[in-house]
Amino acid sequence: MKKIAFVLIALFAILSVVSPALDSGSRADARQATTITYLASQDWIRQGELDLAAKFEEETGIHVDYQIIPSDQYFNVLQTKLNTGEGPDIFGGQSGKTDLVVNYDITKNAVDLSDEEWVTRQDPLVTEQVTVDGKVWGMTLWDTSASWVIVYNKDIFAGLGLSVPTTYDEFKAVCQTIKDSGVTPIYEPISDGWHHVLWFPELGPRYEEVTPGLATDLNANEVEFADDPTMLTVLQQLKEMYDLGFFGEFAMSDAYADGPEFMANGEYAMTVRQTAFVNLVESEFDVPASTFGFFVMPLADNQILNVNPAGPSKFIYSGSEHIEEAKEYLSFLARPENLQYNLDNTPEFASINFTGVTPKYSEEEKAFFDAYADKRGTVYQTAVNYLNPQWMEIGQDLSAMFIGDIEPIEVLQHIDQRRADMAQAASDAGWAK
């Protein structure tokens, strides 16, 4: 018995002597080939980009180390690293002016990229969202043309004789008919914590239509979220849909990643996704993309298309030791042939925010976007300050609202409270006491 203990301790001792040696060995390898680290949230990095990273390594010998963090922990981890001055070489972040300032303290933490060649080829509206103090801080590489809309199964609609709803009452009736037929109306993955939030800020164009100038007033702190009746209506309708069982029995534990499966097998009739989602369903489950159609979220009788020039973006950390290599990588990604490759190999993208790429919209998508050519508005997480940084907290509040722990009006009050906290910490003049 004693001998075994001795052996065990000796084993630990040997291992601890040997493993540092192993470690330094591989560290020497690492010095020969540069590695740049890249911290990003789950769902931001698609296969097309990972393939390109491999090609980049082949071409330059620089390895890109992707560190993918689950979405509910991402900001937490990134913040800690930025605050401690130990950021990765490249970090991902949602663009949008307030996010850049409030969430990332971008002028301190990122490298000025204004002079990079690719900036001129990036969609100017998108570039504006990564611009602070007249300087460009990041590269957005995303399908920013994609809007979060309701993707619906045309076969199910046709089978029940339903047409596309244009008001909340019609929408409710459609959902009820679908539910009565034994199909669950809407796939809503609440467990990821962020997806069910889309229903609220993505309806920004409707809030603005009902109350012109609302975003400006909110940014100047002249009005609060809790004062706006349209927002309250949307939350009440969302709660009503949850209570009526339109999201199905298991919404609370449903996962975003399972969406394609449940839309493909016809268990659900609708889900909130970007239009290119139908290509994903086709490529993974052999259900033709033409099975699905699109309409805008009709809560509060909304009929305007929600657009968002902001998206997941890439920033180079100012404290990085590999700024040049990181710039090289971004330039590599932005080469026209690589942009096209990225687009072609990412089923979730129908376009990408650079000039010179050939988008892959289907007839269906083209017709849909054309129909809303004159009826578009910017979503509120981009138009209104201090909203996007609290996305996950809003998600938790909405879940609490669904299970009846808090009222819709309290969700709005909490949003106002958190905005005030952030604005005061950022010494925003509108919130000065």
Partner 1 sequence: MLHNKVYPFYFTLGTIILYMVFFVIPAVMGLGYAFTDWSRYSSDMNYVGLENYRILISSENNYIHYARNTFLFTLNTIVLKTILGLAFALLLHNGVKHLRSLYRMIIFLPAVLPMVVVGIIFHSVLNPRRGLLNELLRMVGLGAWTQQWLTDPKLALLSIIGVDTWKGAGYIMVILLAGLQTIPAEYYEAAQIDGANALARLRHITIPLLRPALIVATVLNILYGLKIFDTVYVLTNGGPGYSTEVLYTAIFKEFSKGRYGVGTALSSLLFFVMVFIGYFVIRLMEQGRTHD
Partner 2 sequence: MTKDRPLTALAGFRLGRLPTAKNVGQQGIYHLLAVLICLAMYAPVHLVVVNSLKDRTDARSMNIERPTMLHWENYSTVIEQANLERAFLNSILYSSSSTLLSTILAAMAAYVMSRNKTRLNRFLYFFVIMGIAMPVNFFTLTKVMQITQLINTQIGIIVLYAATQLPFNTFLIYGFVESLPRELDEAAIVDGAGPLRLFFRVIFPLLTPVLATAALLSFLDVWNNFIFPLYYLNDTSKWPMPLAVYNFLGQFESSWNLVSADIVLTILPVIAVYLLGQRFIVSGMTAGSVKG
- Tell me which residues touch partner 1 (CB under 8 A): 72-73, 75-76, 79-80, 83, 102, 190-191, 193, 249-250, 252-254, 393, 396-397, 399-403, 405-406, 417, 421-422, 425-427
Least distance in Å: CB of 36 to partner 1?
A: 25
> Which one of partner 1, partner 2, none interacts with residue 402, CB within 5 to 8 A by kind?
partner 1
> Which one of partner 1, partner 2, none interacts with residue 331, CB within 5 to 8 A by kind?
none
> Phi and psi dihedrals of 253, rounded to 5?
-105, 0
Give me the amino acid identity at 261: E
Least distance in Å: CB of 378 to partner 2?
A: 30
> Which CB, 15 or 173, lies closer to partner 2?
15
Burial class from Cβ neighbours inside 10 Å (0-12, 13-18, 19+) for residue 276 reads buried
> Which CB, 20 or 124, lies closer to partner 2?
20
Beta carbons of 248 and 254 less than 8 angstroms apart = yes
Tokens matching residue 33:
């080939």
- Of the candidates 413, 426, 352, 355, the residue with the CA atom closest to the CA atom of residue 385: 426
> Which one of partner 2, partner 1, none interacts with residue 4, CB within 5 to 8 A by kind?
partner 2
> Which CB, 219 or 378, lies closer to partner 1?
219
> Phi and psi dihedrals of 348, rounded to 5?
-75, -15
Q: Which residues bind partner 2 (CB under 8 A)?
A: 1-2, 4-6, 8-9, 12-13, 15-16, 19-20, 22-23, 26, 30, 35, 37, 42, 45, 65-70, 73, 77, 80-81, 83-86, 88, 255, 257-258, 261
> Which CB, 72 or 123, lies closer to partner 1?
72
Least distance in Å: CB of 16 to partner 2?
A: 4
State how far the Cα of 101 lies from the Cα of 92, in Å rounded to an integer: 14
Burial class from Cβ neighbours inside 10 Å (0-12, 13-18, 19+) for residue 182 reads exposed
Give me the amino acid identity at 388: N
Q: Are strands 184-187 and 292-295 parallel, antiparallel or unpaired?
A: unpaired
Beta carbons of 299 and 237 less than 8 angstroms apart = yes
State how far the Cα of 10 lies from the Cα of 7, in Å rounded to an integer: 5
Beta carbons of 118 and 336 less than 8 angstroms apart = no
Least distance in Å: CB of 417 to partner 2?
A: 22
Give me the amino acid identity at 323: I
> Which one of partner 1, partner 2, none interacts with residue 427, CB within 5 to 8 A by kind?
partner 1
> Which CB, 18 or 173, lies closer to partner 2?
18
> Which CB, 265 or 290, lies closer to partner 2?
265
> Which one of partner 1, partner 2, none interacts with residue 210, CB within 5 to 8 A by kind?
none
